[in-house]
Homo-oligomer: A and B are copies of this chain.
Amino acid sequence: MTEDLCPEIKQHRKLTHPIHPLIQNRWSSRAMSGETISDDELNSLFEAARWAPSSYNAQPWRFLYAKRETPIFEQFLNLLVDANIMWASKAAVLGVTIARKNFERNNKPSVTHAYDTGASWQNICLEGTYRNLIVHGMEGFDYEKAKTVLEIPDDYAILAMFAIGKRGSKESLPPALQERDIPSPRKEIEEFVMEGKFRK
């Protein structure tokens, strides 16, 4: 629960401008230990999600999850593509993030349902970082199968899956994943921020 920079971040992530260490420290390893996590830890992750901002405070985010010690874990795991199953099988929790497409108060479409849900998701990532847990998002899964198996109604958009777990040794990953298991780089600010009108 320290906010010193972790070794991988120190080595691989150079900033142009200073930011809060919690935000700087977030990255998503795949090296999980196969241990469970406590309900208290999991609840704090969802509590963090709870306090994200959303348009009209509609809170469109919903999280479905399975703990590895329960029978339903296998069903969540089998939604994933093989390349994800390879490492996510050691997660403590697997989940699916969905968003209500229309406002509850008037059933009109919400432009920001996925955007707001992404904000909520980022809080989970950061609370996980704070707790030294791995939180890893995935779009490598069968969206249609998730909808059927988890009985997700049409009025919810299926956005992503996630794996949460305790850190394991990098050496336990298959060799190809070991190499990739470092914090990834980013575009320069000038590539995604524009003063005034849009420009390429």
What's the dominant secondary structure at chain A's contact region?
A: mixed
Instruction: Say yes or no for A11: interface residue by CB 8 A criterion.
Output: no
Cβ contact within 8 Å between B193 and A63: yes
Most buried by B among A24, A67, A70, A137: A137
Q: How large is the interface on A (under 10, 10 to 19, 20 to 34, 35 or more residues)?
A: 35 or more
Cβ contact within 8 Å between A127 and B20: yes
Cβ contact within 8 Å between B111 and A139: yes
Cα–Cα, bound, A98→B197 (Å): 12
Give the Cβ gap from A41 to chain B, nearest Cβ, in Å: 9
Task: Tell me which residues across on chain B come within 8 A of A99, comparing CB atoms.
Answer: 115
Known: A115-B114, A150-B197. A62 touches B20 (CB 8 A): no
The stretch among A52-60, A80-88, A168-176 that forms the contact with chain B is A52-60
Cα–Cα, bound, A194→B93 (Å): 13
Cβ contact within 8 Å between B130 and A112: no
Cα–Cα, bound, A195→B71 (Å): 11
